[in-house]
A and B are shown apart, each in its own frame.
Chain A
């Protein structure tokens, strides 16, 4: 089963951390990436640019309308994600707890919908 691990973060949060703590976050991600590659659980991951770089696209009257800035007004934004494939939701939660940002903010664990299904 695949899970999306979402890192929600206030974009200014990192500025408040000490250099040492910031380095620890980066090192923590490196370690987790290495672990996921070794265990064969890694499907993908990405760090996302600051929300200031976001464009929001809507289609109205069949024409795209593009505005600058994020869709949802919030303090916390999606800062990055991992997609993992693992045996149980418990394991997915265990992996989420290894994301270094979990110490400062919260990680969401969302199951990814499967493309297969049983006839009923």
Chain B
């Protein structure tokens, strides 16, 4: 457990009891990304809750929460380990995908996103994972750059329904 003398906000791993907070803050993240259809956001909350209820106990999703002394979760991060084919530079083929990094608006500019992201990266490092990747919003990009992340130029995506 990591504590900070400045703000008394504590970082700890997420459990299934944190699912409502993880999902509530995930909605805040998508709203900041200009997703404004409440029907789709509600559907996302329902689907993400169901996913996390299985994935956290199974050890497939690993999350961290920043908690105030009053017990309020105000910042989160998450990691899923994706299995890719081994490459010459990453023989396990495992990549830690970092996501769900979001801080409640009234708790921003205190370094909480940095702390929850670092908790995730330290955990990956401790597991011997050699790569981390993420998709950055414009708001998050400076933080990730300061942690050593670099833009990739070769990832591409296709929506098969279009």
The answer to whether A and B assemble together is no
List A residues at the B interface (Cβ < 8 Å): none
B-side residues, CB < 8 A to A, are none
